[in-house]
Chain A
Amino acid sequence: MTELPPPAPGRTRIVLAEVARGRRASTEFAEQSPVGDALLRGLVRTQLGHALRFAAVVLVGLGGLPLLFALAPSVAGARPLGVSLPWLLLGVAAFPFLYGVGALYVRIVERTEQEFTDLVKRPD
């Protein structure tokens, strides 16, 4: 969960290189020129990638539990600390897990947006 790919995709930067020769990127972006649209598509793809990756973490981490319990009854019957493991996982651990995933996601997408903003607003 910690090793995430660098946010801004290479494609965006190539487009920007062309932009730098002519008009300001922020103008392209606001005016919905083909260049601006390409910038936006890159951003949307990056952000969707983040969302899907984090969703996959939850899908495996939590969504895999019913299957795990069904396939490995000994896991379902384990009693660490004298409490049944499924109760500990679903009754307690699930909530800090969800919050942690959410907090990490917010940090990453905010960084992506900041880098994108810096890129587009870069002075000529």
Chain B
Amino acid sequence: MSHNPYALPAILAVTAVTVVIGAYGLRLVRTTSDLLVASRSVSPRWNAAAIGGEYLSAASFLGVAGLILRNGVDMLWYPVGFAAGYLALLLFVAAPLRRSGAFTLPDFCELRLGSTPLRKLSAAFVIFIGWLYLVPQFQGAGLTLQTVTGGPYLVGSLLVAAVVTGNVALGGMRAITFVQAFQYWLKLTALAVPVLFLVLHWQAQGRPAVTPPSGNTFAAATTVHFDSSAVLTVTTPTTVTVASEPVRLGTGDHTFPAGTDVTFPAGAMVPSVAEAATGDGWLLPGTGSGGLFAAYSLIFATFLGTMGLPHVLVRFYTNPDGAAARRTTLVVLGLVGMFYLFPTLYGVLGRVYAPSLLLTGETDAVVLVLPGLALGGGIAGELLGALVAAGAFAAFLSSSSGLLTSVAGVLSSDLLGRGSARSHASSVRGFRIAALVAGVVPFVLAMRVATLDVSLVVGLAFAVAASSFCPLLVLGIWWRGLTDFGAAAGILVGGGGAVAAVLLTFLGQTGTGLLATLLHYPGAWTVPLAFAVMVGVSLATRRRVPSTVAVTMLRLHAPDALRPRTP
């Protein structure tokens, strides 16, 4: 594939704007609280756009479309769940959490249950979830730079990791609020404008069928490069070109070794590969691997996981009161929902214009290459391709910034720090060192760990959050009977189960059959388990209910107008 001359300047421009806005914000940073929470002086509209900007990561920008391209309708549960997570947050958490005054999840543990060990445990989970979420962001950056410029994988990841770590370490939250808000609108534009052209182009071509009865065909002559060996199943004999030699592929399976270039003529049938769904399996629900169980696991993990994501919660502190937190969440739900209308279209049109990605397995790249493939090599296709590449970088930069800020905050205050008696200067220095650590670890992991699909990894991060922090928040806010023992047991059993499933999935040790389904899609069993253990152990340790519970409940639930004076 030829490389887009406008993509690199566009990517560098987004990165430069991020750095410049960050630097502008930096001049406003005066205290530690500025550095961490934007001094609570951010207006709701900016705040909502910033939350949206931070939330829409590589998984949303690239991953969702890629999964839809490959697996079809069942994957729509990802965008639906990513949006519905904000509704769950709105219903059960937003206002009381803001009123609690907790800035991070460990703060909430301390405030509600007064337990330092529980605080440390939840800090460990925040860091695990943060890193699990950061790895695919850095990998997505590598993939993007490689796809659009042909540059080495390492460079894209390094660029994002370095800019984000530097920005967070120097500017903190105040700086990134403006960056994030800007990046939400950039991401929306970068998906919406190209897709408009793509749909018009598809209309002008007489709406080629997305799922033709006889199977998809290559719209134009297409050269497919196999980075790893692949088995293609051919149903209609085709003559292809391999190393300038015509080769006739008969009906049946054909194995191509790694490094092969195969050119299919225009109009040739797209062979099928075992990993990608075809025909009705793509179009109709419930036909993918895991079936109903997988669908409900995804629903559990994504609906309930959002409230437990560390970078989402931090933002709530920037609302002036509980009612504002609620309104902000509603605006975010609208903004995020609007965004998710678009990735689906890329996945669907990818079936028509980018079937070669199915053969190579690089479906995560569909958003990046679709404008070029559909509109041809002209300037329109290249400019639109550059726009999506810029949007993708905005996604990596903004999500990574939010995640890194949270992980660094927890690292510096809970694990590296020595209490609150430190001076202002040393606590700022501590935060900066923590930011460096928080950025380097996932970067190294991104380079060493096998690349799984971006959305799958992020889905696992959601599952861990849903099985640990969701029960903690929901029960902590609404049930007086929660104890520190109950909370810790629930987090260890439910969250620990999800973590084990994640690690086994990463190591490829999930076995087959039912066990593999349970480990690939942990949400449906780990979330109910976490709730059950938390309630059960709390009831068994009833005398450990904190004596301050009535005061805490008043603080969480009293309407803003009646609030006793609390910080």
Residues of A within 8 A of B (CB): 26, 29-30, 32, 36-37, 40, 43-44, 47-48, 50-51, 54-55, 58, 62-63, 65-67, 69-70, 73, 76-77, 84, 86-87, 90-92, 94-96, 98-99, 101-103, 105-106, 109-110, 113-114, 116-117, 120-121
Contacts and interface: CB of A to CB of B under 8 A. Distances in A.
B242 interface: no
A contact patch SS: helix
A29 B563 CA distance: 10
B564 interface: yes
Nearest to B474: A51
A113 B99 CA distance: 14
A96 to B, nearest CB: 7
B327 A116 contact: no
Contacts of B329: 102
Contact of A40 (B80, B334, B557, B560): B557
A102 to B, nearest CB: 5
Contacts of A43: 557-559
13 contacts: A36-B554, A40-B554, A44-B478, A47-B557, A55-B88, A70-B285, A84-B73, A94-B80, A98-B84, A98-B337, A102-B86, A102-B329, A102-B333
B514 interface: no
Interface centre among B73, B334, B562 (most CB of A within 10 A): B562
Contact of A51 (B86, B92, B564): B92
Contacts of B554: 29, 32, 36, 40
Shortest beta-carbon contacts, A-B, top 4:
A95-B337, A90-B76, A113-B559, A66-B295
Interface in B535-551: 550-551
B77 interface: yes
Given A54-B91, A117-B559, A98 B285 contact: no
Contacts of B330: 99, 102-103, 106
Given A51-B92, A101-B87, A76 B562 contact: no
Interface stretch (B130-138, B270-278, B338-346, B454-462): B338-346
Contacts of B76: 86-87, 90-91, 94
Interface of B: 73, 76-77, 79-80, 83-84, 86-88, 90-92, 95, 283-286, 291-292, 295-296, 299, 303, 323, 326-327, 329-330, 333-334, 337-338, 340-341, 344, 348, 478, 550-551, 553-554, 557-562, 564
A83 B92 CA distance: 35
B340 A95 contact: yes
B80 A90 contact: yes
A98 B559 CA distance: 25
B337 A99 contact: yes
A90 to B, nearest CB: 4
Given A66-B292, A90-B80, A113-B559, A105 B91 contact: yes
Given A40-B558, A105-B90, A84 B295 contact: no
A77 B296 CA distance: 20
Contacts of A91: 76, 79, 341, 344
Contacts of B564: 30
Contacts of B551: 32
Given A40-B554, A86-B284, A103-B330, A92 B341 contact: yes
Nearest to A65: B285
Contact of B77 (A51, A58, A67, A90): A90
Nearest to A66: B295
A101 B84 CA distance: 10
A116 B80 contact: no
A102 B328 CA distance: 11
A37 B554 CA distance: 8
A71 B551 CA distance: 49
A65 B296 CA distance: 10
Given A86-B285, A87-B76, A90-B76, 14 more contacts: A30-B562, A32-B550, A44-B478, A54-B87, A58-B84, A62-B84, A69-B285, A90-B80, A95-B338, A96-B337, A98-B84, A102-B87, A105-B90, A110-B326
Given A29-B558, A62-B80, A105-B90, A67 B292 contact: yes
Contacts of B327: 106
B299 A98 contact: no
A34 B561 CA distance: 21
B102 to A, nearest CB: 18
Contacts of A116: 559, 562
A87 to B, nearest CB: 6
A94 B80 CA distance: 7
A50 B562 CA distance: 20
Contacts of B84: 58, 62, 94, 98
B87 A58 contact: yes
A83 B334 CA distance: 24
A40 B73 contact: no
